Amino acid sequence: MPILPREPDIFPDDLLLSADHMESWWVVYTLARREKELMRRLRSQSIAHYGPLVKRQRRSPAGRLRESYVPLLGGYVFVAGTGEQRMQALQTNCISRCLPVPDPERLVFDLKQIQRLIESDAPLTPEARLLPGMKVRVASGPLLGVEGTVVERRGQKQLLVSIQFIQQGASVQIDDYQLERIDL
């Protein structure tokens, strides 16, 4: 049982599906451990945002299983809106830096893929820096169509899906028979 109930990590729910939110995007770097607080404040002001949360399970010292939802990309929240909404977000006192996104379509594509990884409920590993490797697309299974890079960790193949603009992402263990090479 979670200590606190899961909070929404995206607002509005159709943010990544709707063409309405293709205007201006910013990558917001929060003050330490303030991602959820920022998302609560943005939601109360009706400012579109996405801060991917993933479930983490840990054992308490007494041996009880504790479940919590933590940011997949620590410190980052993605905000869409007008210049005025950006200024409102900056006034929350939760933001360290705010960077404009030069290619919003690519960012939304990357965020959709991260969202699909989270929805697959597969165990995810946050990846801080991208590694060079083969570009692939998942050819079968629940992640059909997701594109990324193959990385090898401890002898096991993993699919790295990244957000190019901030050079971070997540990886999921996957068998190579499920992948097809993307020719550039």
pLDDT digits (tens, 9 = 90+) for 80-103: 999 999 999 999 999 999 999 999
pLDDT at position 96 = 93
Does residue 10 carry a pLDDT above 90? yes
For residue 129, what pLDDT band results from cuts at 50, 70 and 90? Answer: low
pLDDT digits (tens, 9 = 90+) for 146-176: 999 888 888 788 888 999 889 899 999 887 7
Decide: pTM greater than 0.85.
no
Backbone angles phi, psi at 77, to 5 degrees: -135, 140
For residue 184, what pLDDT band results from cuts at 50, 70 and 90? Answer: low
Does residue 2 carry a pLDDT above 90? no
Structural domain boundaries in the chain: 1-101, 103-184
- Looking at the domain 103-184, which fold is it? SH3 type barrels. (2.30.30)
- Spatial contact of 159 and 97, defined as CB atoms under 8 Å apart: no
Does residue 128 carry a pLDDT above 70? no
Looking up tokens 């607002």 gives 11
pLDDT digits (tens, 9 = 90+) for 18-67: 866 667 999 999 999 999 999 999 999 999 999 999 988 888 888 898 88
Neighbours of 109 (CB within 10 A): 14
pLDDT at position 22 = 65
Write the class of the CATH domain 1-101.
Answer: alpha beta
Q: What share of the chain is helix, strand, coil (3-state, %, to 5)?
A: 25, 40, 40
Residue 12 DSSP label = S
pLDDT at position 51 = 97
Backbone angles phi, psi at 10, to 5 degrees: -140, 140
